[in-house]
Amino acid sequence: MKLRIDNDVMVEEFFADTRLLGIVAPIEQYRFCWHLNQMLNFNFRINNSIEIQLNKKARKYFFPIYEYGEQAGTIKHYLYNNEDDGEYLLPEFKHLDFLWLIKDDIMHDDDVGLLTSSIRTIPSVQLITELTNEKIKNKQHLIF
């Protein structure tokens, strides 16, 4: 008997109760996290154990993920770098520098709006937008 991994089910389960923001900010990821931590009173830290590794064109590409868990709830925030040496985690969104995944609990529209307007105040942020699941072709690249 062969066991098969059902990628569709895995993707669906991973993205249950999530929101995904795309951010254009031409700045290093660690600097961006520093700004977020200072301005939003978050505590983003790099989590090397969930780093995404993609194998393309006989090369390995690494996409670090910074993580922050809210103390007053179950919401977790994950900040992905969308580019490594000319390769993209989500190639359909090459213009985005960062992907911000909000996971493990429902974040209401008002809270997402407040968060996005706060992120916009960071000097290097040029654009922030919410990405809908239908627009994301390579969702499996975000699963850690």
Kindly report the pTM of this predicted structure: 0.87
Q: Annotate 7-42 with DSSP letters as a single string.
A: HHHHHHHHTTT-EEEEEE--S-HHHHHHHHHHHH--
pLDDT digits (tens, 9 = 90+) for 10-35: 667 776 778 899 999 999 999 999 99
Q: Annotate 71-110 with DSSP letters as a single string.
A: TTSS-EEEEEE-EETTEESSGGGTT-SEEEEEESS---HH
8-142 has CATH 1.10.3470 classification: no
Q: Identify the pLDDT of residue 135.
A: 76
pLDDT digits (tens, 9 = 90+) for 29-68: 999 999 999 999 999 999 999 999 998 888 999 999 999 9
Percent of the chain with pLDDT over 70: 91
